[in-house]
Structure 1
Amino acid sequence: MLRYNAAQVSAMMKVCVLRIERFDLAIIATLAVLLSGIVATVAAGDRAGIGITDYAPRDLANTRTSLHITFNEPMDTTSAEAALMIDPATPGKITWTGNQLIFTPNVAWLPENSYTITVKAGAQSQAGRSLLSDLRWSFGVDAPKVVYLAPASQENNRVPDLWLVPPGAPDQARQITHEPLGVVNFAPSPDGSSIAYAANMRGGTTDLFLLIVATGETRRLTQCIEAICQAPDWNPDGVRIAYERIELNKNLPSVDAGAARTWIVNVRDLSTAPLFSESQLLGTLPHWSPDGSKIVMYDRNLGATVIFDVTTGERQQLDNYGGDTGEYRFDPSGTWLAYPRLIGIGQLFTTEMWMADFRDKSTHSLSGPDGTPVEDYTPAWNPADGKLAVSRRYLDGSGPTTRQVYIIDPNTDGATPLFVEDGFHHTAIHWSPTGDQLVMMRRPADNSDVAPDIWVYDQRTDKLTELVKDAYLPQWIP
């Protein structure tokens, strides 16, 4: 056994204390280094500021594309919105989805312009960090195109499909759907990236499909068993589609069989449901208002056009027997609705164009002084100047007896012909997103057996040009 005297024990204790002190100092030093590193990292993070992880469009947009700017953390929305600059200046609406700012223009981007987008330094996050340098990029705008159904004649058992054509290059028309039993009707999405269309199915039913324009990919939106689902119309949010559903099941109660009702489908999750839970409320050929707050449709039970406010549940009824063609349209501001109304002039019945004013819920005729024997169809509001184009013919010979395009100023009700081409009917009219071109169907007035063609009128040149033969129901892809 080892024995230590008092001096040896004292010496060993001093060594242990010294070693413990050195160990504590090492630990303290290590902790200090770690703490300083953390402080430096936090300080560096503050100095680095916030980041923008994505933005679009990068190179080329269409006339209705929305801007998308994604930040890497939640933003002070007021600060971020104030930092957004667009040149040339363009009015629009800003919304947010998480950390993403979305700017939707109120008017179309112009194809002749190049737009520069700047997010100025200083935009702050909710944590108080700032964007330290400007983000700036530019994009051009692709000219809108015309989408239509062809062939109209359907000779040799050909069925109609969707086709796409640039107005300035008719030889570049191309087929974009290949449905075995044909396409019935369609609606381009608000931003032009996709098209919802109704296709005939076996068994006499009809279903809705979604076509992605850039890729040609299609996917089914509805499974309408023993029903016809057609006449899609997009909500401005680009997510919800209103459509008409007609039940074919003969075993249903008489109130349901053959009745047309408005349904809504969500293109993201494919959920779908009727607009109204009450079975007695019908609705055919629905159309959304520009802000998505209202839907207009025709109720055959009532013999009336019905405007339904989806936010308040209020229903406004416009008596207009003969309005089941779906010929009603909101103006770009959502202030007015142009709609057809069947009236009698002596022993003659005709369809006038009327206007509902949502400011005071008044209605009045747009078809001229009382007793003017005209027939108006296919209202089309110009998104640029807010005026209304209609397809009009005079029934007493005091004006063109074939359908010509007239422009009506909603503030004065004055009407002037856009052009007159006697011998031809001009119908199914639609303004381009920029409001400078009008696409239409045209056919000889003296031969209804001839298939219609598609023509385009250019306001800039005052020129009417044939675009496609043997085609019908043209619309614009923004």
Structure 2
Amino acid sequence: MSNSRWSPLNWYKQRAQPLDRIAIALLLSFSFAIVVLLSSGNHSAPKVRDFSWDNQQINARDTAFTVTFSRPMDQLSVQQGLQIEPPLPGKFSWAGRRMAYTLNAPVEYGQNFKLSFTGGKERFNQTTQLQPFNTEFSSRDRMFAFIGAVEDQTERLVLVNMTKKENRILTPSNLQVLDFYPYPDREKIAFAAVDRQAENLSPTEQQIYTVTTGIGKAEAGQVELLLDNKTYQNLRFALSEDGQLIVVQRVNRANTNEFDPWVLRPNKPPEVLKTKQPGGEFVITPDSSAIAIAQGQGLAILPLESGAEPLGFLPKFGTVLSFSRDGSKAAMLKFNNDFTRSLFIVNNQGIETEILKITGSIRDAIFDPTQRFLFCLLTELQEGETFKEQPYLAVIDLETAIKKDPKIALKPLVKLPQQREIQVSLAADGRALLFDQTENDPNLAAKSATSLQNSRLWILPTETLLAGDWKAPISPIELMPGFHPRWLP
């Protein structure tokens, strides 16, 4: 018996053939090389794999973008290396290799932006820097529509692109436009109009149409009838935030007691919402699932499904003036027993806060996109031989009104002529108010030819207010003849 001990090395020396020795040597070499590569890491520079706004056109509802990197990154160095021109203040958040950037305020419309990353480092190898990344994106053009007041624009729908300085008449001359709402994608506008060739030009004879704007694939000016007036008269109407339904107040011509809201959905017949009692002014909720409608001595919340039970009743309030964009707050009007009016903010927990009480009227209230400010159309009661109401625009700082003192939260902005109807519209980015002014002559009938010709559109910049500077004077700028303006989303 041999005294030598067995070992892999002895076996290798005694039994292994030359070819075996070569194969084993190569295997050991490859293993060593793999270990070296793994220990030294990947020497290729990390890069941006995906940017969610890359060469996109964004709107006010696009509140955040995401960036995905090829490898885990050092967060602070990446954040310091982000450049956006013009600047867009915001906040960072991370989930693995994905970075999110949430804007503090909606992006300003009519802007082109450049974004770049420089100098970001890899998390596990601080010597490896991010490959330079440069891209662009833009915001929607600043656009609005209005009803014309002069020459061939008279009582027709006109589209204005302030960014490109272009005007376009959308509706034909035979239709007299009374009201309208742009769709969220901007490709169409829903409008109510009466045919000038009809025997009766009363607003109760209006029909509901859509017209293309030319922003999408379809050419501008293509009109489609959505709802006729043969059996029912069409009264007020509204378009939902998502553009998927229209609600119209209708009354049966043969039975005026049949007075209900109807719902129009794409590619479906109109559907009546039977209510227990007639309703008045209404607002569609931001989630497009219900309406808040004045009924009797309060507000009813009705789901937009036929046969569904009411969601609630608010006996304290007379109407909903507006909802915040996310639906978390509502501006509600209360008629007090002492003939004053109060403006309340009601949140989705049911907490009610009175922010204004006046002897005049509260005609409108609009939340800015950040929900910090409420732009209002108010009137001041003026005593004399007869009581007169002086309309004016104002803004309320909601944070001050709710947490501190409502009396110091109100800032009057612009006094307006005494007129029956005033349309106010806040831009989607919150940076400007549109409003109209009509001839101040009590001897002129409302919307007469003379009063229409003297109607003017005005714009009021609000950027300094949103920035917190309430002392800086702001003045409205006259735009053009016209009335009833609405910003496009």
- Regarding TM over 0.5, the answer is yes
| 1:225 maps to 2:227 | no
Which residue in the other structure is 2:146 paired with? 148
Change (3 A) 1:249 1:385: closer
1:428-447 mapped onto 2 (5 Å cutoff): 428-443=423-438, 447=442
Partner of 1:29: none
Find the counterpart in structure 2 of residue 355 from structure 1. Answer: 344
Shift of residue 456 of structure 1?
0.5
What CA distance in whole angstroms lies between the structure 2 residues aligned with 1:448 and 1:442? 16
Q: Do the aligned partners of 1:62 and 1:143 also contact (CA within 8 Å) in 2?
A: no
CA distance in 1, matches of 2:398, 2:108: 25
Among 463, 467, 470, the residue aligned to 2:475: 463
CA offset digits 1:110-147 (Å, max 9, x no partner) = 333527699xxxxxxxxxxxxxxxx9964312332121
Q: 1:172-183 counterparts in 2 under 5 A?
A: 172-178=166-172, 180-183=174-177
1:407 aligned to 2:371? Answer: no
**Partner residue of 1:295?**
291
- 1:39 is matched with none
1:333 is aligned to 326
Partner Cα separation in structure 1 for residue 371 and residue 257 of structure 2: 44
Query: Over the residues paired in the alignment, what is the CA RMSD in angstroms?
Result: 4.5
Instruction: Report deviation, 1:416.
Output: 2.4
192 and 393 in structure 1: CA distance in 2 versus 1, 3 angstrom threshold: same
Q: Secondary structure at the match of 1:438?
A: strand
Contact 1:64 1:190 in 2 (8 A): no
The alignment status of 1:236 with 2:236, answered yes or no, reads no
| 1:429–1:438 CA contact under 8 A, matched in 2 | yes
> Structure 1 residues 64, 116: closer, same or farther in 2, change over 3 A?
farther
CA distance change for structure 1 residues 178 and 374 in 2, over 3 Å: closer, same or farther? same
Measure, in 2, the Cα distance between the counterparts of 1:443 and 1:320: 34
Q: Name the SS for the 1:184 alignment partner.
A: strand
Deviations, residues 228-285 of structure 1 (Å, cap 9, x unaligned): 33544333333x22322322422x3x531xx242x22223x244312x3x35344444
Residue type of the alignment partner of 1:146? F
Shift of 1:419: 1.9
Q: Secondary structure at the match of 2:413?
A: coil
CA offset at residue 62 of structure 1?
A: 5.0
Q: How does 1:305-320 map to 2 (within 5 A)?
A: 305-309=299-303, 313-319=309-315
Corresponding residue to 1:367 among 336, 339, 356: 356
Deviations along 1:384-423, one digit per CA (max 9) or x if unpaired, are 34311111222257xx962111112334234423424475
- Which runs of structure 2 are paired with 1:54-453 in the superposition (5 Å)? 60-61=57-58, 63=60, 108-111=106-109, 112-114=111-113, 138-151=136-149, 160-167=155-162, 172-178=166-172, 180-201=174-195, 202=198, 204-214=205-215, 215-216=219-220, 217-229=222-234, 231-238=236-243, 240-250=244-254, 252=255, 255-256=257-258, 259-261=259-261, 263-267=262-266, 269-274=267-272, 276=273, 278-299=274-295, 302-309=296-303, 313-319=309-315, 323=319, 328-345=321-338, 349=339, 352-355=341-344, 357-368=346-357, 372-395=358-381, 402-411=390-399, 412=401, 413-414=406-407, 415-421=409-415, 427-443=422-438, 447=442, 449=444, 450-451=451-452, 452-453=455-456
* Partner Cα distance (1:187, 1:330) in 2: 16
Q: Offset at 1:434?
A: 0.8
Change in 2 beyond 3 A, CA 1:108/1:265? farther
Q: Unpaired segments of 5 or more residues in structure 2?
A: 1-48, 66-81, 92-101, 118-132, 445-450, 465-473
Amino acid at match of 1:289: T
Q: For residues 275-309 of structure 1, what are the alpha-carbon distances to aligned partners after superposition, in whole Å with 9 as ceiling and x for unaligned?
A: x3x3534444442222334322233xx24332235
**Would the alpha carbon gap of residues 393 and 293 (structure 1) be closer, same or farther in structure 2, given more than 3 Å must change?**
same
Q: Contact 1:331/1:386 (CA < 8 Å) preserved in 2?
A: no
Return the offset for 1:457. 0.2
Residues 161-201 of structure 1, C-alpha deviations (whole Å, 9 max, x = no match): 211224478x7433111151312211111232321112225
Whole-angstrom distance in 2 between the partners of 1:295 and 1:86: 43
Contact 2:251–2:257 under 8 Å retained in 1 = no
Give the match's secondary structure for 2:313: strand
2:484 pairs with one of 437, 450, 473: 473
How far is 1:86 from its partner?
A: 13
Distance in 2 between the 1:317 and 1:66 partners? 33
Cα pair distance change 1:315/1:420, threshold 3 Å: same
In the alignment of these two chains, the number of paired residues is: 361
Q: 58-67 vs 329-338, which deviates more?
A: 58-67
- Could you say which residue in structure 2 is the equivalent of 1:76? none
Deviation of 1:221 (Å) = 2.3
Ranges in structure 1 where 5+ consecutive residues have no aligned partner: 1-51, 69-84, 92-103, 119-134
Whether the 8 Å contact between 1:241 and 1:265 is mirrored in structure 2 is: yes
Change (3 A) 1:287 1:423: closer
